Structure 1
Amino acid sequence: MDSAAAVSFDANGTIGAYQIGVLISCVLLGVTTTQAYIYYSRFPQDLAILKALVAFVLVCEVAHAICIVHALYQFTILDFGHPQRVFSRLPISLDTAIFFSTIIEQSVLGFFSFRIYTLSRKLCVPLLIVLVAFVHLLGSMATFIITLRLPSLQSYTAHWGWLSLANWCASVVNDVLTTAVLVVLLYNQRKSAQRKTVALVDKIIVWTIETGMLTSASTVFMIIFLPQYLTMKERDDLARGVCRLRT
């Protein structure tokens, strides 16, 4: 890699940002594991299919964490001293993490769709959520396959950056729609509930808003910063340096 590309490389905005994301993800994996333990210990009488869904999501979460940690190890250890490799072909483990992330999201949305149907006994909204989720699934699977075949990250951002933007927009639509519908349905149930049950319903409404809006907010931030990444000068300078090395 030439000296100009080396100087322009910004580890804070690339490997550093990814490392922070991995650390936060590992913390959240611990939270998820704790929640799964509490669930199995407090609700042993739940349906077997619901227990299996929780176990499946937890296994996928662990697999996702392993993939992103392996990618971080490759970026910081195996590729140490070679920053040009950050923008070459992505590690297969990072591509696989996209696959597991999609499976987790679709499983959770499927559960919420069923919950909405149980509360409303109407199919229109659950079918809409499933439709948007299916579009997101197709987009994520396309991203997974494309990133496996493309020679570099620059090629993906140049030709397929819009696909990531579309996937995240679909994710935001589903999160907001699911949260809003659940809040409305729970609020309607609150009107006919007994006084002792009202407090519990209120807590569920707050939890629904917190969980739904948190994921929506994180995705919105990614949508906001994606165009800045696609036009990031340091990334383009480094990529040009890599191309000069290869030729």
Structure 2
Amino acid sequence: MSSPGSVPSIDIASTYGALLIGVYFAIFFQGILTVQAYIYYDGFPDDSRGMKVLVALVWLFDFVHLVLICQTEYHYLVTNWGNQQALLETTIPLDLHLILLTLASLTCQAFFLNRVWKFSKNLLLTIFLGAACLSTGIIDIVIAAQTVHGKSVETILSHIFQAEVIAVFTVGAAADMAIAVILVWYLKREMSSFERINSLVTRLIQYTIATGLVTSLLALGCLVAYVLSLDSLIFLAMHFSLGRMYTNALLATLNSRKSMRARLAVPPDIRWTATGGIQSTPRFTAQPEQVTPNLTIKSVDEQETSRSSQGGFDSVQVRFHSAV
């Protein structure tokens, strides 16, 4: 072990202490993500295989990322306790965690970009937003490769990649906010005279704003910590949880579909009955009645409506069926 005076000193509290707190938060959000994944598989067994694979994939990305950052903290604070020289060298897991975080983030952003495409049908807009998201991922991977090559914590603390890091956080926050704003704008266009549709649109707007704000604000928080605290790893500790903000937002969106669809369902006290040979008419009753076997009331997703409701229910339900 080198003597304390032979190597540069490092502030444990603002570097590896901050990373340890970041790991704690990452574990907490991973637990929330696991619960959400269980709720998804339990509540949506009829979803497509592709969607189920997507959920498993983002959970796996975050889990492997958690293993890497936990191993990093164990290396610094347990295996090399008191070894100042070890504190100045990066580890492969610490360098590679950026790649797993990037994979999780890009996968979730692709899901939300798919929603932008379904609502807007604007290929140029979708490609532009996709390029912005992809550029942040590429920069993250380049930074990871450079830190692996440098093998020194000074590579991070010296702010050699200051322009790249600022670009990642700025462009990432702007892209997430742009996706949210665009979705809100297109959702507002779907407002109609149907109360259930408007209720669903309002709830979708609330979810969209919430998910967009969470990732954008955390990215901006990482940027502020990076700029204001030059000799610390606080920004990196906050960055540990950024990928889980995306994956939790994705799972929250998928799991919200049950309540969304319930808002479109016909109230249970509506029954269709037939009396004698007269054509059946709808009756509102709180008592269970005999329902004619060949007469059913369809859900909103299946209901056939008149073409005269142009711009109303019939035009909106197709988009919502694919979105929720």
Q: Same fold (TM over 0.5)?
A: yes
**Structure 2 residues without counterparts, runs of 5 or longer:** 233-324
Q: Which residue of 2 aligns with 1:140?
A: 140
Write out aligned runs for 1:97-246 (5 A).
Answer: 97-156=97-156, 157-189=158-190, 191-192=191-192, 194-230=194-230
Shift of 1:231: 5.1
1:14 to 2:21 alignment: no
Letter matched to residue 107 of structure 1: T
Letter in 2 for 1:17: A
Q: Deviations over 1:37-80 (max 9, x none)?
A: 11122222222211111111111111111111111111210121
Q: CA, structure 1 residues 153+119, in 2 after alignment: closer, same or farther (shift >3 Å)?
A: same
3-state SS of 2:122 partner:
coil
- Give the drift of 1:223: 0.8
Distance 1:181 1:202 in 2: 15
Q: Residue deviations 1:120-157, cap 9 Å, x none?
A: 12212211111111211210110111111003121343
CA-CA distance at 1:158 after TM superposition: 4.2
1:109 Cα shift? 0.9
Hey, which bits of structure 1, 4+ residues long, moved more than 6 A? Answer: none
Equivalent residue number for residue 242 of structure 1: none
Give TM-score scaled by structure 1 length: 0.85
Structure 2 residue matching 1:159: 3-state secondary structure: coil
Indicate conservation of the 8 Å contact 1:79/1:85, yes or no: yes
Q: Distance in 2 between matches of 1:149 and 1:5?
A: 21
8 Å contact kept, 2:147–2:155: no
CA RMSD of superposed structures (Å): 2.0
In the aligned structure 1, how far is the partner of 2:51 from the partner of 2:41?
10
Output the CA distance in 2 between the equivalents of 1:202 and 1:5: 59
Q: TM-score, normalised by structure 2?
A: 0.66
Q: SS state of the match for residue 167, structure 2?
A: helix
- Distance in structure 2 (CA, Å) of the matches to 1:77 and 1:193: 63
**Contact 1:179 1:212 (8 Å CA) reproduced:** yes
The amino acid that maps onto 2:137 is L
Alpha-carbon distance between aligned partners in 2 of 1:77 and 1:134, rounded to the nearest angstrom: 37
Give the aligned residue type for 2:184: V
Structure 2 residue identity aligned to 1:170: V
1:84 offset after TM fit, Å? 4.2
Q: 2-side partners of 1:115 and 1:99: how far apart?
A: 25
Cα deviation per residue 1:66-117 (whole Å; 9 max; x = unaligned)? 11111111121012112443332x1111112110000011101111111111
2 CA distance for matches of 1:193 and 1:205?
17
Q: 1:24 is matched with which residue?
A: 25
Query: 1:227 Cα shift?
Result: 2.4
Are residues 149 and 9 of structure 1, via their aligned partners in 2, closer, same or farther at CA, if it must alter by over 3 Å?
A: closer
Letter in 1 for 2:33: T
Which structure has greater strand proportion?
A: 2
Instruction: In structure 2, give the amino acid aligned to 1:12.
Output: A
Between the two structures, name the one with larger relative contact order (CA 8 Å, sep ≥ 6).
1
Return the index of the structure with the highest Cα Rg: 2
Post-superposition offset of 1:5 = 7.1
CA distance in 1, matches of 2:101, 2:155: 22
**Structure 1: 5+ residue runs without aligned partners?**
233-247
Contact kept, 8 Å, 1:99 with 1:140, in 2: the verdict is yes
Tell me by how many angstroms 1:30 deviates: 0.9
Amino acid at match of 1:176: M
Separation in 2 of the partners of 1:208 and 1:223?
23
Match of 1:77 in 2: 78
> Is the Cα contact below 8 Å between 1:182 and 1:208 reproduced in 2?
yes
Question: Are the equivalent residues in 2 in contact too, given 1:161–1:230 (CA < 8 A)?
Answer: no
Q: Deviations over 1:162-198 (max 9, x none)?
A: 2222111121121111111111122222x12721232
User: SS of the counterpart of 2:151?
Assistant: coil
